Each structure stands twice: as C-alpha cells, then as structure tokens.
Structure 1
Amino acid sequence: MDNKSRSGDAGCSIGAGSGEGTMRRVEELRERTVWKSDPHTQVKHLVYRHYLQCWMAKILQTFREATIVDGFAGPGVYTDGPPGSSIVVAKTFLEHTAHRRFGRLNLICLEERPDRVEELQRQFAKLPHSPQLNISIQPPGTFAEQQSRLSALAHRGRVETPVLWLIDPFDLKSAPFSLISQCLTGPRDEVLFTLFTNELHRFCQREGFDKTMSAYFGGDHWQVATTERRAGARKEAFAAAYQQGLKDQGLFTGSFGIKISNQSARYHLILATHNEAGLKCWAPVTWKLDSYSGQGASADTADTLSLFDEALVVDRLDVALRAHAGTEQRWETLSSQAARLNHMDKHLRQVLDNLAAQGLAIRVDPVKARTAWPEGCTVRFYAPEDVADEAS
C-alpha cells in the first residue's frame, strides 16, 4: 500500500491490522496525512525500483524525452521514513549510474487530497535539482477526472512519447479497465497497475458486486476465476484473467504477486506494454525478487538468494521448446517466446543445454561460436523418437 487505503469498495474494509496507538489501520490510512509504512509496500517499491532502473536505461538513452505519471501519488513519505512512490521514481532517476546520459524525464504526480499534495511538495523540495528531471505536481484531483488531461501533458503533443503510468489506486472503482485502456492509447505507453486480488477473492461473490467486477476487468471473463476454491489459486486466476483482457487488446503483459510472509499474494502488480522490450525488463525484475519461480515475493523473501537458484522452475519453457520438434528456429524467436513466458535468456540457454544433452536441440548456425547459444544463432529441434536407438 502506497500512502493510501486499500478497500474493495466503499463498504469493503480490509482490516489491515493496527496503526499507531489504538487507531485501526484502515482509519489511519483514511484520516491521517502521513502514516507508518508496511512491509508489502516496500516489496512493491523494490519492483518499481528494479523495473525503473531498466526502463530508464533503455528509454532515456534512446529518446530525448519520456514521462512517468504517478496517478495516485500520496504524500510521498511515511512517518517512519521510507519514501512514497513519486519520490522513489525521482531518486531512482537521480541515483542511476547512467543518468547523465539520459534524455529529459517528466514526472507528473497527481494526488486527490490537498494536505497530501502539500506534503508531497515538501518532500520533493528536499531532493537535489537536476535540469534533466522535470517534476510537475498537479493540483488536487481524482485520476478518473484528470486522466485525459494528464495524458496530454505526458505526451507533450507527440503521441510517440514514451509514457509509463504508475496506477496504484485507492479501490476497485477508482481504476476500471476502461481507464487503464485509456492510459495505453499511445504506441509507447506502458502501465504498472496494482490489482487487488485479495479483495477480488473476498468479495467476488458478494451480491450485487458483479457490476463492479465486470467494470474492473472490462468484461465478465473474471467469472472463470470464481471456480477456484483455494484462496491462492483464485487470486492467481484473477491475475491471469486480468492479463487475458490486456492480451485481447494486443498488449504484452506480466504479473508479480506481493505476498504476506508465506501466504498467498496480497495483491499483484500487472505490467501492460505495447513492446516486447518491456517484458525484457520485467522478467529480470521478477526473477531477482523471486529466484525460485519469478512469480511473487514477500517482505521476508524479496531480494534474497534461494536454495533453488540452480534449479529454476522452467517447465513451461521446456514444454514450449519441445513443441518446435522438426523445425529450425532463430534465436530472436526463441528469446521472444521465453520473454512471453516470463523467462530470461539465461533460462532459455539453460533449457537448450538440457535439450542438447538429450539430442533434442542442435545449433546449426553459426558452426563456430564462443558460446553454445549465441545471440543470432539458429537451433534445430528434434523429437525424442528421432534420437531413439532403433536397435534397443
């Protein structure tokens, strides 16, 4: 939670524990300008920071100008010291090892409450100035009412300007699917969206809640997830359903669960992008924070080494590559396929090594190379029956 309440709708409180003193957490989030952080926000901000490191390096060294919009910015700080999302973005830019080679970054921040806007201004005033970083804190307003105006500011008259939208709303009704779609109208628009999978799991079958759900998903395809009975499986199914809605619009998408200790995900971060290069940034983030499956992390596992680092879960990629039996495939095609399955090139090479050991994958071009699977190579695939010993 980034400086904001988490509730499914106006009548669905989360019960997120206690704040300072006797004030309940949900009341603290609603009534105070600034409050104490929680561990799940820190995991989310780790995802932001790692993704921004890659996004900035790629985008700001390619384009003269790009924009990040924080649509639900909050006050920019917590009472115990950690920065809010907008400050995380600014500090990631200022502290990036390549930032002197960057083009201009426009950071647009929107917050609904005037008291939090004032606090956000105070927090930005503490940061060092950079002529390459243009910070624009908007007057208080709601994202739904301001989205079209923010889009015009973000693109600055050029639809091809890259824009990354950070959409971390207060509740389900603040960011329906139609609004997310509007954030993706530009050819280089991307969205990082907080999907309330815990609330979806808890309230999906509440009477009269189906209209809210359908608006949130942009259709009734969310209903397939309700057949899952276990909480974890249902939450993952909701994340998959939301991603399917994005894929149906021709977008590339990734997902990462933010967990509470070893429990199922509290909420999911969803990436939506027009360009497969976004997945090339996303996969390393998810595998860095969850080195076993790349699917989700909790506050006690994020950024830690796993005993399973040498045995990564790559079953889906193995199955996908075996399906190429009888064909030759270019590296670019295989790398693209791996990215869509949320795997990195190192995972692709690991699976190819395993297939090659079984005689099921052979590099046919180039004949000589310094490594087994260099970029640009061509790989021929075989079926197990093709390599079976007929005499056995």
Structure 2
Amino acid sequence: MRRVDELREQTVWKSDPHTQVKHLVYRHYLQCWMGKILQTFPEATIVDAFAGPGVYTDGPPGSPIVVAKTFLEHTAYRRFNKLNLVCLEERTDRVEELRRQFAKLSPSPQLNISVQAPGVFAEQQPRLSTLAHRGRAETPVLWLIDPFDLKSAPFSLIRRCLAGPRDEVLFTLFTNELHRFCQRENFDKTMTPYFGGTHWQSAVPERRGRREAFATAYQQGLKDQELFTGGFGIKVSNQSARYHLVLATHSEAGLKCWAPVTWKLDHYSGQGASAETAGALSLFDEASVVDRLDVALRAYAGTAQRWETLSSQAARLNHMDKHLRQVLDKLAAQGLAFRVDPVRARTAWPEGCTVRFYAPEDVADEAS
C-alpha cells in the first residue's frame, strides 16, 4: 500500500525516518520550552492540532505521547507548574486510539490531558484558543501544527494561532510539495493562501535551492507580521529536505530555545537534519558555519555594543552564544573587537559585557 493511501485509510500507520527526526526536534525544543515556561508561569498549554492516533504500528509514540513523556520525564518535572495538553484529531477511530495510548501513561496532577471530540482544526481553532488560554490572554500556548496537506493550514489560520502575546507555533511546512507543484496550472490558488500573499513567487525561479527558498519566503511572511522565526529542514541521508519545521514566536526567548536544538541536530550549519545525522548530538563543530554572524558583527564597526544586543543578533541568525564568542575571538585577534567593560573578568566575553568594534582600516598600518 502506498504511504498516501496508508495515511488516508488506516487508523494507525508505520513510522518513517522523517517522522523520527521531526519528533526529535520536538523533544529537544520542548525540553527547553518546558524548563523555562513551566517554572515561570502558573500554567501553560500545548495544543496538538493534528494529533493522530498517538502511536505507530512499529511501536514509536506519536506527537501527543512525545509531548506527555517529555513533560513526565523532564529533569525539572518536580518544579513544574501545570501543563494543559489539548489534542484534536479529525477521525473518530484515531481519537479512540489516542485515548487508549494516554491511558497507558502514569497520571500526574501537574499534567491535564484533554482529548477533544473529533473535529476539523480550521473549524475548531477559535474554541481551542479559548480553551488553551484559560481566560487569560497572557497564558503561554504552544501550537503544534502538523497537517496532512497544504489546504488544512493556510497562513490566516497560523496567524490566528499567534493572536495571544505568548502564543508560539511550531509548523510543518511542506517544502517538497511546494517545490514539485508550484508551477502547475492554477496551483497559485493553493500557494497564495498557504503563504498569506504572493511572496512565494520569489522562490519559484530557484531550481537547486527552491525548497529552502520557499522556507525563507514563508519565514519572511512571519517576520513581516513582526514575529521572530526559525526554520529547520527534515531530510533523509543526502537527499533534499522533504519538509521544514518553522517556529513562529513573539519572543526572542523562543529563538534562544530554538537555536540550540538546530545545532544539536545539525552541528555543521544548524539548518537541517537527516535520520543519519540527527543522532550526532554534539552541540556544534568548531568549524561551524558562522559567516553571517561574522558579517553582522563587523557592521558594528565604530560603535560599542552591549552583550544583550550581540546575543540578540546571534539568536536572530540562528546562532548560540558560544558561536558569538567564537566570532568575537576571531575579531579580537584581528584587532576589530575589544571588551571595554568590565575591565576584569574571568572569561573574555562574559554576559553583560560591552564590546567596541573597529573597521579593518582603523587598524591598518600607516606610513609615519
């Protein structure tokens, strides 16, 4: 049976390598998100909008169970406040199976699991938003949106999920389908609502890097809404990414959780992982790609910048503070960066420091 038929007809289906990498991203991001949010706010909510049956025929757990187990097995679990896990699935048979899977877990007074009656996400989103926020707009809500097709999650729906000031979305972007079908006649009628505009057209001329160009275009649409965003390609071996995971958040703190995840799973560029490379969980390679960060810091020539500004710039470029220190070491060796405050410190670039930047011509030798 073809996989598309398996997904359409069966209650439970077999997992694949892409799914395992995706769930690994979920787990790592949730580890950080839970550690920060659930020790700061009295309660928070995760909405799995396309929950599925909660298990695969070959044994691995589905995304709702991954979320629950990440919570229950977290090292900071005993310090956590309340987490509400809201799950929506369209098919009755899969809802019943999901409830059976949750029944196998140990109950926790800190984890409130709510499996909704079968429903379509686009129709149920307003009600789910009210349920997730618990009457308080400031309640943190993380939406996991992993649909089966493009039409189930148009940009307008994603934007509604980000209406609250502490809402975040982790969205599966079908870049392979976009790459394959973007030039078909009348496919623009699907593409434009999916992107929330016609800016997707800028990616079409790209041939070798079209998938990544679509991911970049989608993220630009989020940035135009004054949101912070990160992306990560999910692929197998040396093939092109089948789809991308896209994070959208109101807070730069979300990027601070996102960057370490991507560098753990892709320690060369932090941009995509395959089933082959995802097991290599070293934080990053010393030869990691930091060119964009290098260029960004050189643009500060003639100014003094606080560490917070530099760390923010690094996060926006999907880099960690360790990458920032790596580039600062390089610039300092060239005479282009100096720590001016504090005068004394145990490390070269401590948090809270101030760094002054210079241009190459400022340090060039001149004839006396």
**TM-score class, shorter:** over 0.9
Task: Return the alpha-carbon distance in structure 1 between the equivalents of residues 39 and 252 of structure 2.
Answer: 18
Moved over 3 A (4+): 305-308
Quote the offset at 1:260 in angstroms: 1.9
For normalisation by structure 1, the TM-score amounts to 0.93
Aligned residue type for 1:329: Q
- Structure 1 counterpart of 2:30: 52
The alpha-carbon deviation at position 389 of structure 1 amounts to 1.3
Structure 2 contact 308–352 (Cα < 8 Å) conserved: yes
Structure 1 gaps, min length 5: 1-22
The answer on 1:148 being equivalent to 2:114 is no
Alignment of 1:1-392 (within 5 A): 23-230=1-208, 233-304=209-280, 309-391=285-367
- Provide the secondary structure at the position in 2 that maps to 1:227: coil
Distance 1:25 1:106 in 2: 32
How many residues get paired?
368
TM-superposition CA deviations, 1:112-160 (whole Å, max 9, x none): 0000000000000000010000000000001001000000000010000
**Cα 1:368–1:306 shift into 2, 3 Å:** closer
Shift of 1:391: 3.4
Q: Assess if the C-alpha contact under 8 Å between 2:260 and 2:283 holds in 1.
A: no
Is the 1:292–1:306 contact (alpha carbons within 8 Å) kept by the matching residues of 2?
no
TM-score, structure 2 length as denominator?
0.99
CA distance in 2, matches of 1:376, 1:79: 51
Cα distance in structure 2, aligned partners of 1:107 and 1:307: 29
8 Å contact from structure 1 (residues 290, 303) kept in 2: no
Q: Please report how far the alpha carbon of residue 305 of structure 1 lies from its aligned counterpart in structure 2 after TM superposition.
A: 5.8
Q: Which amino acid aligns with 1:69?
A: V
- CA-CA distance at 1:28 after TM superposition: 1.2
Q: How far off its partner does 1:307 sit?
A: 12
SS at match of 1:129: coil
Matched position secondary structure for 1:26: helix
- Which deviates more, 300-309 or 346-355? 300-309
User: Identity, % of aligned pairs?
Assistant: 87
Cα displacement (A) at 1:308: 7.8
Name the aligned partner's letter for residue 301 of structure 2.
Answer: A
Provide, for residues 286-338 of structure 1, a one-character-per-residue CA deviation record: whole Å limited to 9, x for no partner: 00000000000000111316898121100000000000001000000000000
Instruction: Find the aligned partners of 1:321 and 1:362 in 2 and give their Cα distance.
Output: 12
Per the alignment, do residues 307 and 56 of structure 1 end up closer, same or farther by CA in structure 2, a change over 3 Å counting? closer
Q: What is the root-mean-square deviation of aligned Cα atoms in Å? A: 1.1
CA distance in 2, matches of 1:224, 1:281: 30
